[in-house]
């Protein structure tokens, strides 16, 4: 196969999210849901990967592998455990993480919100409440004041379309959730009620969509006010939505609600973060499941690495913005399939670059096996394995392979 060289300065990295790796994130709404019997979560995030304490060793490992970028998120509920009460200790922690990134030659891509929110916010109406955008903006302003000078790139929010996306493929937990006993119990745990309690993943309504986009705008303003001058954008969960058997109109409708609304809303940002795992086929009668014969991942997704190139092209055409692949990866117990998946996905990225598209970087999801939300620790997306008893890290062959690609900037 032909050798491909990437542009100088291309960002090569891995991504994590606070709640999935830090451990002990007890002040947020997801922790509450994990501990509500009858809900969709199979286990507690618990200590996760104890990255809150082990971040320095983890960053050393990633830098030694050859990466030049690290994407991680700030845990809002640590920084603002009560409405308007900010923790300097938590802010200092993230300042140390950022400093360690720089010491290791890793450009930090900082996500201000990755699915989890403080309990008090969820209780007060969460992602459907009128004052959430302003509260999120206040958090971003405070965090930026403390950390902005060390941030390389800022993602205001991770996958602003995740609620509607999960709902669109009929996830059982999303069906009539406000009427579910476990949802009412979770709401009560934070002193709220099921009509108001709205964690980010459950913001599926039009009002939720508007609240999230308004919050993004408040965040952009807050982060741009400085200090620091990092590029600011958001990230979108993008499947390659394909039409089959007369499904063009249905596919266009799906693209409209799950992607276009957001891609139109981010014009004027500095970049768009594309996060892609698979494709989705759409027929006239509705969504189709995986095609017979196509390999499935641990998530039940089709093994379809070509989705990345397709979604980069779509996001780039719709927005005209530079693209950063802020997530792409595969949950698999077979590391040779991970390597094959990444290689094919990267060939898609390279083809986009060859066609003149402005793609700035690729961050693999995820640095290490971690807490995969409702599915707990079962799916393994990591380049690095984590022993659940000892927290020992073991580098997988795919990590060495991708690290070499990163170091040489060549595939």
Q: Which tokens hold the place of 155?
A: 């993602």
What Rg do the C-alpha atoms of the chain give, in angstroms? 20
Among residues 247 and 379, whose Cβ is nearest to ligand BGC? 379
To ligand BGC, the closest distance from the beta carbon of 207 in angstroms equals 22
Among residues 63 and 234, whose Cβ is nearest to ligand BGC? 234
To ligand BGC, the closest distance from the beta carbon of 72 in angstroms equals 12
- Outline where DSSP puts E strands in 265-309: 271-276, 279-283, 286-288
To ligand BGC, the closest distance from the beta carbon of 159 in angstroms equals 5
Among residues 20 and 28, whose Cβ is nearest to ligand BGC? 20
List helix spans (H) across 266-396.
307-319, 335-354
Single residue of 58, 239, 327, 335 touching ligand BGC by CB under 6 A: 327
To ligand BGC, the closest distance from the beta carbon of 407 in angstroms equals 25
Does 237 bind ligand BGC (CB under 6 A)? Our answer is yes
How far from chain centre, in Å, is Cα 410? 26
Site for ligand BGC in 252-311 (CB under 6 A): 275
Among residues 155 and 263, whose Cβ is nearest to ligand BGC? 155
Among residues 17 and 33, whose Cβ is nearest to ligand BGC? 17
The whole-angstrom separation of Cα 107 and Cα 356 is 24
Among residues 108 and 148, whose Cβ is nearest to ligand BGC? 108
Pairing of strands 240-243, 279-283: parallel
Contact present, 215 and 131 (Cβ < 8 Å): no
To ligand BGC, the closest distance from the beta carbon of 153 in angstroms equals 16
Single residue of 158, 161, 278, 363 touching ligand BGC by CB under 6 A: 158
Overall size of the chain counted in residues: 411
To ligand BGC, the closest distance from the beta carbon of 226 in angstroms equals 27
To ligand BGC, the closest distance from the beta carbon of 71 in angstroms equals 10
Single residue of 112, 364, 365, 401 touching ligand BGC by CB under 6 A: 365
- From residue 163 to residue 202, the character string flagging contacts with ligand BGC as x (rule: CB under 6 A) and all else as - is ----------------------------------------
Residues near ligand BGC (CB under 6 A), total: 10
Cα–Cα distances (Å) from 402 to 66, 68, 150, 303, in that order, read 8, 12, 26, 19
Residue among 25, 143, 99 nearest 33 (CA): 25
Contact present, 1 and 155 (Cβ < 8 Å): no
Angle ∠(155,312,300) on CA atoms, nearest 5: 90
Among residues 177 and 381, whose Cβ is nearest to ligand BGC? 381
How far from chain centre, in Å, is Cα 178? 25
Among residues 261 and 351, whose Cβ is nearest to ligand BGC? 261
To ligand BGC, the closest distance from the beta carbon of 14 in angstroms equals 12
Single residue of 6, 12, 14, 17 touching ligand BGC by CB under 6 A: 17
Q: ω into residue 227 within 30 of 0, thus cis?
A: yes
Site for ligand BGC in 97-156 (CB under 6 A): none
Among residues 94 and 277, whose Cβ is nearest to ligand BGC? 277
To ligand BGC, the closest distance from the beta carbon of 379 in angstroms equals 7
Residue among 292, 314, 300, 288 nearest 375 (CA): 300
To ligand BGC, the closest distance from the beta carbon of 191 in angstroms equals 27
Does 22 bind ligand BGC (CB under 6 A)? Our answer is no
Does 159 bind ligand BGC (CB under 6 A)? Our answer is yes
Q: Which tokens hold the place of 55?
A: 């971040």
94-101 LR contacts (CB < 8 Å, sep 24+): 94/143, 94/146, 94/147, 95/146, 95/147, 95/150, 97/55, 97/59, 97/72, 98/147, 98/150, 98/151, 99/150, 100/55, 100/56, 100/59, 101/59, 101/70, 101/150, 101/152
To ligand BGC, the closest distance from the beta carbon of 303 in angstroms equals 14
Place of tokens 């060495």: 400
Q: ω into residue 366 within 30 of 0, thus cis?
A: yes
Single residue of 372, 386, 401, 405 touching ligand BGC by CB under 6 A: 372
Residue ranges that bind ligand BGC, judged by CB under 6 A? 17, 20, 158-159, 237, 275, 327, 365, 372, 381
């Amino acid at each position: 196969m032909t050798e491909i060289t990437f542009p100088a300065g291309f960002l090569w990295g891995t991504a994590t999210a606070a709640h999935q790796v830090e451990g002990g994130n007890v002040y947020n709404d997801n922790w509450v849901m994990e501990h509500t019997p009858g809900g969709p979560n199979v286990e507690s995030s618990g200590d996760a990967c104890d990255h809150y304490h082990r971040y320095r060793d983890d960053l050393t490992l990633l830098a030694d592998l050859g990466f030049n970028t690290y994407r991680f998120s700030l845990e809002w509920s640590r920084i603002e455990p009560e409405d308007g009460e900010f923790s300097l200790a938590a802010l200092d922690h993230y300042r140390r993480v950022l400093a360690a990134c720089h010491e290791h030659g890793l450009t930090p891509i900082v996500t201000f919100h990755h699915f989890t929110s403080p309990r008090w916010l969820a209780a007060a109406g969460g992602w459907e409440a009128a004052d959430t955008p302003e509260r999120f903006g206040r958090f971003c302003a405070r965090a930026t004041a403390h950390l902005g000078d060390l941030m390389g790139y800022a993602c205001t929010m991770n996958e602003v379309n995740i609620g509607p996306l999960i709902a669109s493929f009929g996830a059982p937990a999303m069906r009539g959730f406000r009427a579910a006993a476990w949802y009412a119990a979770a709401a009560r745990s934070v002193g709220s009620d099921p009509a108001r309690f709205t964690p980010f993943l459950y913001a599926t309504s039009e009002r939720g969509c508007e609240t999230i986009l308004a919050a993004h705008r408040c965040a952009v303003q807050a982060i741009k006010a400085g200090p620091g001058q990092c590029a600011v954008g958001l990230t979108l969960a993008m499947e390659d939505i394909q039409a089959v058997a007369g499904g063009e109109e249905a596919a266009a409708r799906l693209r409209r609600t799950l992607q276009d609304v957001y891609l139109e809303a981010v014009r004027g940002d500095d970049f768009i973060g594309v996060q892609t795992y698979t494709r989705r086929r759409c027929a006239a009668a509705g969504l189709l499941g995986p095609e017979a014969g196509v390999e499935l991942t641990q998530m039940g997704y089709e093994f379809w690495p070509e989705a990345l190139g397709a979604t980069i092209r779509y996001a780039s055409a719709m927005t005209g913005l530079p693209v950063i692949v802020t997530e792409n990866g595969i949950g698999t117990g077979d590391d040779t399939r991970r390597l094959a998946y990444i290689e094919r996905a990267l060939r898609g990225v390279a083809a986009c670059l060859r066609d003149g598209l402005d793609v700035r970087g690729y961050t693999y999801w995820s640095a290490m096996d971690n807490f995969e939300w409702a599915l707990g620790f079962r799916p393994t997306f990591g380049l690095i394995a984590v022993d659940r008893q000892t927290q020992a890290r073991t580098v997988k062959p795919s990590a060495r392979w991708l690290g070499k690609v990163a170091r040489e900037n060549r595939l």
